[in-house]
């Protein structure tokens, strides 16, 4: 963000949060109307039927897979900054394979073990970030926050579609909607609290890092927050941020290996993928083949691609899925679908949905032809799978 927007970057987080606010208003109403496990997949399926629902589910799996691979690339970069001996390409690939082998084994041994590991990793995520904000704000150089050349609209659109990666994730949190108590009240409230909290956190981190490092932030390749902490607070803080980043991304990897393979398992269980992916461990009851296939796909993507390319592909899938959810919200309201209490109602729904589509369309204008081609191939494969399996 610093490389493309300079000192304007903190403002971009606020603009992106406003754009996401339009989208999550629609997600909040859809989530309050459909109390089924599946999140966006369930909303779209209830609104438009099984074919469109399956495509939405496949989009959800695509974005989670690309996101897993994108975070994996940053994980090995942070490890390389913390332990220079691991910074080479070969060492990074070997470490990544080892990490995924460990998490795959943990999750094959059972969901309870995987959940316990994720909970333990989560505890250490937030404190180093709050420490950087609290301590770094006193080391800010005001000159580093001066806006010299505001970005043009195409640059802002390309930056926004990359930045949406930081705000995405609500669609994953909504998946267990069928297990939430009082979804009509709980889901909208949780969404709005989450959006407010992460906007403040992300904008504050960008503001402090920009103010401390200035132009150097744009050239930081491995761990910019750790470098900002080192300048503001000392070498101990740099190492603490690196350790915190590694722990956070390990937690992401563990959580996604726990959750994402279940999508492959569900597709196989419903007859859309080979039945071997629906087989369970005879004792632990975990989907072994789905876990191993998911890990293999993520490793190939992470080792052969870059964070930006993977993040853009994840965000492209995310934005198309969000657009489908906005349409589903309109359809669910039109049919007055209700479950679990009086649903949340989007104020001025037509205006909000139209504005959400305008924002999504504006961000998608920055997607390259090659990225659209990769996305279209994935969606075409999904459609072909559905039609072939439905006929057979």
Q: Which residue has the tokens 């754009």?
A: 19
Kindly report the average pLDDT of the chain as a whole number: 83
Per the structure, the complete domain to which residue 345 belongs is given by: 2-391
Q: Report the pLDDT averaged over residues 205-222.
A: 87
| pLDDT at 296 exceeding the cut of 90 | yes
> Residues of the chain with pLDDT > 90: what percent?
11
| pLDDT at 114 exceeding the cut of 60 | no
| pLDDT at 338 exceeding the cut of 70 | yes
pLDDT digits (tens, 9 = 90+) for 51-109: 888 898 888 888 889 989 999 998 888 888 888 888 888 888 898 899 889 888 877 77
Q: Report the pLDDT averaged over residues 123-130.
A: 81
Instruction: Please give the tally of structural domains in the chain.
Output: 1
Where residue 303 sits, what CATH number does that domain have? 1.20.1740.10
Q: Report the pLDDT averaged over residues 300-327.
A: 87
pLDDT digits (tens, 9 = 90+) for 17-45: 888 888 888 888 887 788 765 677 778 88
């Amino acid at each position: 963000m610093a490389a493309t927007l300079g000192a304007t970057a903190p403002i971009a987080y606020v603009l992106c949060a406003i754009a996401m606010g339009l989208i999550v208003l629609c997600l909040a109403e859809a989530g309050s109307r459909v109390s089924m496990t599946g999140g966006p997949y369930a909303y779209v399926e209830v609104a438009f039927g099984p074919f469109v629902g399956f495509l939405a589910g496949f989009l959800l799996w695509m974005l989670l897979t690309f996101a897993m691979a994108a975070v994996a690339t940053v994980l090995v970069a942070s490890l390389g900054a913390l332990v220079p001996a691991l910074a080479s390409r070969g060492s990074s690939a070997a470490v990544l394979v080892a990490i995924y082998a460990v998490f795959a084994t943990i999750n094959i041994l059972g969901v309870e073990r995987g959940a316990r590991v994720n909970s333990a990793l989560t505890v250490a995520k937030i404190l180093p970030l709050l420490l950087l904000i609290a301590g770094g704000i006193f080391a800010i150089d005001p000159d580093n926050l001066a806006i010299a050349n505001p970005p043009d609209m195409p640059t802002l659109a390309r930056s926004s579609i990359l930045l949406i990666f930081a705000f995405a994730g609500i669609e994953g949190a909504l998946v267990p909607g069928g297990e939430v108590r009082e979804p009509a009240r709980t889901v909208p409230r949780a969404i709005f609290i989450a959006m407010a909290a992460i906007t403040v956190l992300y904008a504050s981190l960008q503001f402090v890092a920009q103010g401390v490092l200035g132009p150097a932030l744009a050239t930081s390749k491995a761990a910019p927050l750790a470098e900002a902490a080192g300048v503001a607070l000392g070498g101990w803080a740099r190492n603490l941020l690196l350790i915190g980043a590694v722990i956070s991304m390990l937690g992401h990897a563990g959580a996604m290996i726990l959750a994402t393979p279940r999508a492959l398992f569900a597709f196989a269980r419903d007859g859309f993928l080979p039945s071997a992916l629906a087989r369970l461990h005879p004792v632990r009851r975990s989907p072994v083949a789905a876990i191993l296939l998911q890990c293999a796909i993520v490793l190939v993507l992470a080792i052969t691609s870059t964070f930006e390319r993977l993040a853009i592909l994840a965000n492209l899938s995310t934005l198309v899925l969000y657009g489908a959810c906005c349409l589903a919200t309109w359809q669910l309201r039109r049919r007055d679908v209700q479950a679990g209490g009086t649903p949340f109602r989007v104020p001025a729904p037509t205006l909000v949905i139209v504005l959400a589509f305008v924002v999504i369309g504006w961000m998608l204008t920055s997607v390259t032809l090659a990225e659209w081609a990769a996305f279209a191939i994935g969606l075409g494969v999904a459609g072909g799978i559905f039609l072939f399996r439905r006929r057979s």
